[in-house]
């Protein structure tokens, strides 16, 4: 009789221990180890075999033609790197109810309309419930196959029998492998099921989407190796009370990373936003101080974003610093620069900084815009509504150059902005026919003089 091994596995990182411990020795999480039954020796499940390849010079490697299939949604195609790649594995995560299943069901509809077979595997809903959601989204196609299944062996059998172009697993935490004696959603189940599904995708040429649950910290639940195995990792972001959703790329082997796709949740599903810059610019900015427009980059896309700041006298001993949408430490640095280099007395002022629309801006090119909004609110000076700011601010008060300046300025010109405050070093080599007036600044004090 074979001996069954008992191990304790961390549900965050997959670290194993022969005895229970209160704190994981891998990631340091408390109370995260759960007892699991190891696979007895000699009874392990045989994974899919891959034909052996011998080493060869890279110059003699033949490239395979893998044309991408357009999904019918330009925003989705762009963040995937041009479309759906045969044999690719895409991991998509997000909070419950944000629209993961809705988006993937729409993608299945667009692909199936072109004559390709798609397979939607639902592990959380019944087939009837999926049909109700499909009718609400007006999704009807004979090439869209639906099955409610959580057993991995049956899912792999369906994939081999139907040979679909696209497979959606909703969700990977619900799938279990009968040869592994642990509950669905555990590290062992998630890791092995994902590995087998991705292996089948590579061998059959079927593209596969894996829907992943997220933890309270906002990361995909399960071992981190799950993101390493996938070709593309997408995160759905969005506020609960807003209709806009942001699909962010954090890993992509077939395209650029840090791309975002912006969608609007409507009655008939998620619809791409054609002009995303307009949703991040409010209509009341023309009459209030402490508001400025910056041009930031998200991957290969330029976005115009409105930054708002409110500076008011502190009524209590310790002034408050509240930040939303930008890095708190960077705002603190800019406040110190304004007080030291410009002479603004901000030590006794409450400062609030916010990005309109709920988008997160992380790049240093937003420094100049942040500094201008704080200065505008402190001096009660309204910044002209046709000015856009681009530039990084150094500790000495200098305004440093940023990358991809022409793409930023073209987006500003397209939306009707007449003037741009840019670093002087960025004006070298810029085409003169951009249709927007450039104001060069070397120091932050020069930009402050512009608004008076």
Residue positions forming the annotated binding site for ATP: 94-101
- Kindly state the tokens that stand for 226: 């799950």
- Residues 111, 69 contacting (CB under 8 angstroms): yes
List, in sequence order, every residue forming a beta bridge with 222; answer none if it has no partner. Answer: none
Query: Is residue 108 classed as helix, strand or coil in its secondary structure?
Result: helix
Query: Is residue 201 classed as helix, strand or coil in its secondary structure?
Result: helix
Closest CA to 221 of 230, 208, 211: 211
List, as residue ranges, the binding site.
94-101
- For residues 375, 376, 381, 385, the Cα torsion angle rounded to the nearest 10 degrees is 140
For residue 110, the tally of other CB atoms under 10 A from its CB is 20
Return d(Cα 228, Cα 247) in angstroms, integer: 19
Helix (H) or strand (E) holding 405: helix 405-414
Closest CA to 91 of 261, 265, 245, 207: 207
- Kindly state the tokens that stand for 80: 């995937």
The count of C-alpha atoms lying within 13 angstroms of the C-alpha of 33, restricted to the half-sphere facing its C-beta, is 21
- Residues 318, 350 contacting (CB under 8 angstroms): no
Instruction: Collect all residues with Cβ–Cβ distance below 8 Å to 1 and sequence separation of at least 6.
Output: none
Three-state SS letters, 367-428: HHHHHHHHHHHHHCCCCCCCEEECCEECCCCEEECCCCHHHHHHHHHHCCCCEEEEEHHHHC
For residue 375, the tally of other CB atoms under 10 A from its CB is 26
Instruction: Collect all residues with Cβ–Cβ distance below 8 Å to 4 and sequence separation of at least 6.
Output: 37, 38, 40, 181
Pairing of strands 89-93, 207-212: parallel
- For residues 369, 308, 448, 399, the Cα torsion angle rounded to the nearest 10 degrees is -20
**DSSP H stretches of helix in 223-284:** 225-229
- Residues 385, 286 contacting (CB under 8 angstroms): yes
Return d(Cα 432, Cα 11) in angstroms, integer: 57
């Amino acid at each position: 009789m074979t001996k069954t091994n008992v191990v304790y596995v961390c549900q965050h990182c997959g670290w194993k221990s022969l005895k229970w411990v209160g704190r994981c020795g891998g990631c340091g999480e408390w109370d995260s180890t759960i007892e699991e039954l190891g696979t007895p020796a000699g009874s392990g499940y045989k994974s899919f075999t891959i034909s052996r390849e011998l080493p060869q010079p890279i110059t003699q490697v033949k490239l395979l033609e893998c044309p991408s299939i357009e999904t019918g949604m330009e925003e989705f195609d762009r963040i995937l790197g041009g479309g759906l790649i045969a044999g690719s594995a895409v991991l998509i995560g997000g909070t419950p109810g944000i629209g993961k299943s809705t988006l993937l069901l729409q993608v299945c509809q667009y692909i199936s309309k072109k004559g390709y077979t798609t397979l939607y595997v639902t592990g959380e809903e019944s087939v009837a419930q999926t049909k109700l959601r499909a009718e609400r989204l007006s999704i009807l196609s004979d090439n869209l196959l639906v099955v409610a299944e959580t057993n991995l062996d049956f899912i792999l059998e369906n994939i081999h029998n139907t040979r679909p172009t696209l497979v959606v697993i909703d969700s990977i935490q619900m799938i279990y492998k009968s040869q592994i004696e642990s509950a669905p959603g555990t590290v062992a189940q998630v890791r092995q099921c994902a590995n087998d599904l991705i292996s089948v995708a590579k061998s059959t040429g079927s593209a596969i989407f894996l829907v992943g649950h997220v933890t309270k910290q906002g990361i995909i639940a399960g071992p981190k190796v799950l993101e390493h195995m996938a070709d593309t990792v997408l995160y759905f972001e969005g506020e609960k009370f807003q209709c806009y959703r942001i699909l962010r790329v954090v890993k992509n082997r077939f395209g650029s990373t840090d791309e975002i796709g912006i969608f609007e949740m409507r009655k008939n599903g998620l619809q791409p936003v054609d002009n995303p810059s307009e949703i991040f610019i409010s209509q009341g900015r023309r009459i209030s101080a402490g508001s400025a427009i910056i041009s930031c980059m998200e991957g290969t896309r330029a976005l115009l974003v409105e930054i708002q700041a409110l500076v008011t006298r502190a009524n209590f001993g310790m002034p408050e610093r509240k930040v939303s949408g930008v890095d708190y430490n960077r705002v603190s640095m800019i406040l110190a620069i304004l007080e030291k280099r410009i002479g603004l007395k901000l030590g006794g002022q409450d400062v609030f900084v916010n990005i309109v629309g709920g988008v997160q801006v992380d790049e240093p090119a937003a420094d100049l815009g942040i500094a201008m909004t704080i200065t505008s609110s402190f001096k009660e000076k309204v910044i002209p509504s046709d000015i856009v700011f681009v530039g990084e601010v150094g500790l000495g008060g200098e305004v440093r150059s940023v990358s991809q300046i022409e793409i930023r300025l073209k987006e500003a010109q397209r939306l009707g902005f007449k003037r741009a405050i840019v670093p002087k070093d960025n004006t070298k080599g810029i085409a003169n026919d951009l249709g927007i007036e450039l104001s060069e600044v070397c120091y932050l004090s020069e930009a402050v003089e512009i608004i008076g």
